[in-house]
Chain A
Amino acid sequence: RKEVEQDPGPFNVPEGATVAFNCTYSNSASQSFFWYRQDCRKEPKLLMSVYSSGNEDGRFTAQLNRASQYISLLIRDSKLSDSATYLCVVNRAGNAGNMLTFGGGTRLMVKP
């Protein structure tokens, strides 16, 4: 089983649509969770951290279900500029390394 698994997409949605991405992770010792955004041939950029209680940042809402080892990202009112690959990322803490484990990403294309 992959450590972090995502549907690769692509998700093709019209502007203004609501779209949801899901992610599952296999390591129950994972402690921190993130969504990163990556544009084509660019570096990953932190979109938001994901907290157990769920959290919202503008049009973006992230949820975490530790029991199911499941993370989600909801984007409301999609903009053309939201077109990118969304990376689900988990962090295994417990040592000074704190390495991030990336999912393969879900590609979103927002059309006019």
Chain B
Amino acid sequence: EPEVTQTPSHQVTQMGQEVILRCVPISNHLYFYWYRQILGQKVEFLVSFYNNEISEKSEIFDDQFSVERPDGSNFTLKIRSTKLEDSAMYFCASRDQGHYGYTFGSGTRLTVV
């Protein structure tokens, strides 16, 4: 079964540092997403990406965040200057056109110390 792959599975970083979370969506999918889940809380939407541009973003996705699809395969989330409150599980997801069910990756656990 095709899957969404995320790396690394766990990243520890110091406050103020930049991090890049990587995702390889399912190859024929057209829509890409980042969600996050703070421990013990609900899954929250960050950003959606289609046709090489952001199509929607939440209030959480401020100027510290950016996304990129550099090579037609990878989909990355960059946090420029991490804060303690950025500690969370970050999930990448993708879907095909016409289907509303997403496939999620297994997540990257980001710990900011």
Contacts and interface: CB of A to CB of B under 8 A. Distances in A.
B45 A101 contact: yes
Interface residues of A, number: 24
Contacts of A91: 100
Contact of B102 (A96, A100, A103): A100
B42 A104 contact: yes
B31 interface: yes
A43 B106 contact: yes
A76 B113 CA distance: 44
A20 interface: no
B56 A95 contact: yes
Give the size range of B's interface with the partner.
Answer: 20 to 34
Given A87-B43, A97-B56, A102-B42, A46 B101 contact: yes
Nearest to B43: A102
Given A49-B100, A102-B42, A95 B55 contact: yes
16 contacts: A42-B107, A43-B91, A44-B43, A44-B91, A45-B104, A87-B42, A93-B100, A96-B48, A96-B55, A97-B50, A97-B55, A97-B56, A99-B33, A100-B35, A101-B45, A104-B42
Interface of B: 31, 33, 35, 41-45, 48, 50-51, 55-56, 58, 89, 91, 95, 100-107, 109
Interchain residue pairs A-B with the least CB separation, the first 5? A97-B56, A97-B48, A96-B55, A43-B104, A102-B43
